Structure 1
């Protein structure tokens, strides 16, 4: 009887995947410019074959001569990252089928294989963008029963099959990025719950071994995560949230060319509203704004600055946000190490002072957020490798060298 019982338990574990676990991830970086924004023709159809080459990606942000010799992804590995969150425009896949879709999948498979050949794992994130609106976020923003959602889920299954061939020990699939299903509470519909549940089921029909990264609605926030009911859970799942709290600090960005939105400190208690306003005034004057423009912008900025200091953002508020995610996981019998902080970052102050945070404030914030994730054993991915807003682990301009101060904030440099 004991032998029969053992065999029954062993067989059940094979069926349920009880012995499985997601691929090990620790410290990652987003790579967004390469396979997102797939080039389009004048009529807004996708150029074919789709997606940019690595050289086209690197040359779009700065002269190719600024890139050091050597393999980009080997360089990422040498910084201390063990994976990249590779964002991919699903538009070309949605716009094609049959042999044409297979051609696009082959391009993507070659890209993923190139990354993993450099010793990195890959979180393959289908990351909708709006350059071809018919294949943007709107396609998955409606009813779970819509034709668009059905098409999207069919495409996801094809991507899962492609990734399985590369190796389930090397890749994970994150089928959605920041879905726009609101509100983030029980007053909303169950469409996002159904979409996420059905998508996990579709992927599991392809492979029980492929790691899946699920996400809540509401822009992929913690609020969206805790509204999700993980009835589809299995041991091969991560649960993602993006950490841009408070957005007023992480995304200090002006509305126009003559407006300034910068200089909020971290934590709030390290400065005062008066100092921020004085600094902003000096930066506007140095940039050559007229007295009228400076006055109008100061009036507009005062309310934002006052609110930030009134909320008095600091480590305790960050801890409370993380605690929401951890409490949700505990309530659903999910280990906190299966929570995945898929994005976090801060816009660095621009050279003209019109946007972003001072570097010292940015580094303090990133250190605090990274340490909180690691306290709970959560893997994380910084946003991102390179972009024009200073949310980058390499220098934002000039030679493409690592930002050593930022790597130190991430615990990757002494």
Structure 2
């Protein structure tokens, strides 16, 4: 069916974010055998169909660089997802009554004190009790401190992309055959319980997109529509584009 559509119009990604861990040589070679065997099975049907291969460990860069592309051919692309740091892109607490939001991008765009004060103000506005606020802040302060200690910003982003490019070059694969299959950031919710402020979200999206384009990598933003603001249309109301997000992605 896909061959009839045309190899220049469709690509097949057999697996998305495979949950095979750990990401290094201490693990088994199960994922290597699965990915290589799948490519061979597809090639038995078509030598031209574009395949998107991925490493283990949730399709991360760490998983990609542990993959041996011994099945490579010119019609194979290699995907990795960019959600680094996850503590910024996925600011969301497990408990429905907890708050996890407001980390900046890059880290030096704000301070731990400002983030903590903003979070406390949002909890006050939501009507949390003093005990609930204390419990929330105890957990939040640890996350906030770790994020600022690591000083997340452009240099770490560049290092991640360079790791993927170095892997590709070592295997004779052009960086244009690397594919940033997903990237995105949860937008701050109306009650402040989750997500990043829009300005920080847009700075991150622009930074990832520009880094991909610096190496001529195709990319795909996550996603068309979802309720968390990680979408190219507005999360609420009519299905109209999020114009600021499109601008950050370099789209008209």
TM-score normalised by length of structure 2 = 0.99
Tell me how far 1:165 sits from its aligned partner. Answer: 2.0
- Given candidates 212, 218, 223, the residue that maps to 1:373 is 212
Residue 293 (structure 1) aligns with: 132
1:402 paired residue number: 241
Tell me the equivalent position of 1:179: 18
Does residue 1:259 correspond to 2:102, yes or no? no
**Moved beyond 3 Å, runs of 4+:** none
Candidates 22, 42, 53, aligned match of 1:203? 42
Which structure 2 residues correspond to residues 13-412 of structure 1 after superposition, within 5 A? 162-412=1-251
TM-fit CA distance, 1:166? 1.9
Give the secondary structure class of the aligned counterpart of 2:114.
Answer: helix
In structure 1, runs of 5+ residues without a counterpart are 1-161
Give the Cα separation in 1 of the matches to 2:146 and 2:100: 14
CA drift of 1:297 comes to 0.3
SS at match of 1:293: helix
| Cα RMSD (Å) | 0.6
Alignment partners' CA distance in 2, 1:331 and 1:397: 45
For residues 324 and 330 of structure 1, the distance between their equivalents in structure 2, rounded to whole angstroms, comes to 10
Distance 2:77 2:104 in 1: 33
Distance 1:271 1:196 in 2: 42
Equivalent pairs counted in the alignment come to 252
**Which protein is bigger by CA-based radius of gyration?**
1
Q: What TM-score do you get using the length of structure 1 for normalisation? A: 0.60
Question: Which segments of 5 or more consecutive residues in structure 2 lack a partner in the other structure?
Answer: none
